[in-house]
Structure 1
């Protein structure tokens, strides 16, 4: 995936307080990062992908669930318009600021859509155990393409959980797949909510959240009968990230051709921003 790196100045420069919030809490909400033109284009690209998904699409609906929970990954390798969002959009520069990184690799981008009256929740998990990557500099950008509220499935985050010094076993979103890595299970957060500092954000189209790869998060169903919850997601890695293949991880688009411990720089995990 060869393309010019993002060189334009970011539309939003993080303040020292925002960077400190990301580092301390593992979650940061930033308003109106992607403008109306980006939102219109990305909504059209999501519709295009849903009509003709890539080979990476899989069923993530709970057994017997109502509605439809759609997910597709590595979409910038499937539809060229998403590639522009990766290389020309504002996300990579913001991730670099939050992680205080001098370069940013894209791990993959993703679509997650909960259509109206979708009863499947997003189970509590953190991202890093799914991926063949080591290092602290790993984050997820979650862009709202619709108005998002608790009723429509706003993501919840456990503040500070990225600094617990503990990885938890990956939770499968595919009813027919299970992960086997020897890690403890995710704690019962919903059953003990008072024990955790949980935060969520009502989002407007164009708002984003940035969360650390070890920040625990989950989301309720979309109970709205009249509102989809469309999200476009970019997964980024910073300076200290390296390739860490392990068995039974989330499927990648293809073998990146790297050895364990190598920098991520390759066609599958391209450098998309550099200071």
Structure 2
């Protein structure tokens, strides 16, 4: 129940998050957490959960995905409850009453993986309404552009748009019920982008509506192991209508209810976490 931070998030960092939709925080996770999670990631790959996804898209290399890992893997559970991640989300979002975990996603691009993460933003997939929604993306290996660093379209969370979800597996499983994402690559000169290369111990915090993508891992010797923990603040409510996000089980709360239950547990303040 520590959740200790090496330092508080500065006001300038919070302002950057809300203005740009993304910030990079350096050195917030110590070596013990990194090594513990490296072992846990490899265990989760060897013993995957029921929501495992093969994200290779028929291309060379391996791209492993899994979700709600915290519900069955003890080290992942410890990470979302006890690591600095939840406290980081609370300070960045400015939550006053609670931070809840929506879910976690394990994303591992092995060396030589050609699988590209397409341009997308997260919240249109999810059964969530609210502004205080973010992902704390924590790498357990050094991440460079070559090995698959995520690229963000600065300020796109403030466009007032919700675009059609993209399939990470290369199919059309989500149909076409929403406005399509613009051809970002064709209009690069119209936008500002940011890419953060990171070291183990760093994390990236991005808003639920910022557009982002990532290349494959063209580095033939370096893995890209990362955990994306999705956190919600005071204003988040459950809205399953039209959601594309499969859940590991039904949450048992009605539409419009605050996003807090056994499946979406409160992770901050730590004294209010479930037993």
TM-score range, shorter chain: over 0.9
Matched, 1:253 2:239: no
- Classify 1:153/1:134 alpha carbon distance in 2 versus 1 (closer, same or farther; 3 Å): same
Structure 2 residue matching 1:150: 3-state secondary structure: coil
| SS of residue paired to 1:152 | coil
2:46 to 45, 51, 67: 51
Q: Verify: 1:272 aligned to 2:267, yes or no.
A: yes
Q: Aligned residue for 2:221? A: 226
- Alignment-derived partner of residue 67 in structure 2: 73
Alignment match, 1:213: 208
Corresponding residue to 1:135 among 125, 130, 149? 130
Q: How many residues align?
A: 269
Q: 1:119 aligns with which of 97, 114, 119?
A: 114
Which secondary structure state, in structure 2, belongs to the residue aligned with residue 151 of structure 1? Answer: coil
Mapped partners of 2:27, 2:176: distance in 1: 38
Unaligned runs of 5+ in 1: 1-5
- Aligned residue for 1:96? 90
For residues 78 and 176 of structure 1, do their structure 2 counterparts lie closer, same or farther at Cα, with a shift above 3 Å needed? Answer: farther
Distance, in Å, in 2 between the alignment partners of 1:149 and 1:194 is 23
| Residue 173 of structure 2 is aligned to residue 173 of structure 1 | no
Greater shift after overlay, 220-229 or 183-192? 183-192
Give the 3 Å change call, closer, same or farther, for CA 262–248 of structure 1 in structure 2.
closer
Change (3 A) 1:248 1:271: closer
Q: TM-score, normalised by structure 1?
A: 0.95
CA RMSD of aligned residues (A): 1.3
- Given that 2:3 and 2:83 are in contact with CA atoms closer than 8 Å, whether structure 1 keeps it comes out as no
Regions of 4+ moved over 6 Å: none
CA displacement 1:219-256 (0-9 Å, x = unmatched): 01110011111101100001000000024512111110
Runs (5+) with no aligned partner, structure 2: 271-275
| CA deviations over 1:14-68 (Å, ceiling 9, x no partner) | 11100100010000000011110000000000000000100010121112x0100
Q: Deviations over 1:93-126 (max 9, x none)?
A: 1111111002100001121000011001110000
3-state DSSP class of the match of 1:175? Answer: coil
* Structure-2-length-normalised TM-score: 0.95
User: Quick one: distance in 2 between partners of 1:130 and 1:73?
Assistant: 14
State the Cα deviation string for residues 133-160 of structure 1 (Å, max 9, x = none): 1111110010011111101110000110
Residues 41 and 9 (structure 1), Cα distance of their counterparts in 2 relative to 1, 3 Å cut: closer
Q: Indicate if the aligned counterparts of 2:124 and 2:243 stay in contact, CA closer than 8 A.
A: no
What secondary structure, in the 3-state scheme, does the structure 1 residue paired with 2:177 have?
coil
